[in-house]
């Protein structure tokens, strides 16, 4: 493959890979990048077909979780959990107001 074909392939690979990440529809993405949809889909097919023939193509296991679950896990990991009577729990993060926390614990324990 000559240099100009390699450059064209790389350019289109970047365009095709960036479209889903952009969050835009194909039509909007193509309009913004001044490429035709027909060229976009032709290159997408061409790149996919050449990748399917490569030894690196195959299945990769991916474990995904919903964004809310990941955010919840991160939030809990960066917090201190305080267990009160009657199975009440408070999550306290860095920078909390100690006086307010003390008042809140007294109110909740009195319930």
Band the pLDDT of 99: cuts 50, 70, 90: confident
Give yes or no for residue 27 having a pLDDT over 80: yes
Same domain, 44 and 9: yes
Same domain, 46 and 83: no
Summary mean pLDDT of the chain: 80
Half-sphere exposure of residue 27, counting CA atoms within 13 Å on the CB side? 0
pLDDT tens for residues 31-72?
Answer: 999 999 999 999 999 988 887 665 555 556 666 666 666 666
- Helical residues (DSSP H) of 55-97, grouped into ranges: 67-77
Range of the domain at 42: 3-52
Same domain, 19 and 44: yes
Q: Is residue 23 part of a domain?
A: yes
pTM of the full predicted structure?
0.46
Same domain, 41 and 71: no
- Domain tally, the chain: 2
């Amino acid at each position: 493959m000559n240099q100009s074909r390699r450059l064209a392939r790389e350019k289109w690979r970047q365009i095709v890979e960036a479209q889903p990440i952009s969050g835009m529809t194909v039509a909007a993405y193509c309009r913004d990048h001044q490429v035709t949809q027909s060229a976009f889909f032709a290159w997408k097919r061409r790149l996919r077909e050449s990748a399917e023939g490569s030894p690196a193509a195959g299945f990769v296991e991916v474990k995904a979780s919903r964004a809310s679950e990941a955010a919840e896990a991160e939030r809990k990991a960066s917090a201190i959990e305080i267990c009160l009577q009657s199975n009440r729990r408070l999550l306290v993060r860095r920078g909390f107001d100690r006086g307010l926390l003390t008042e809140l614990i007294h109110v909740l324990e009195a319930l």
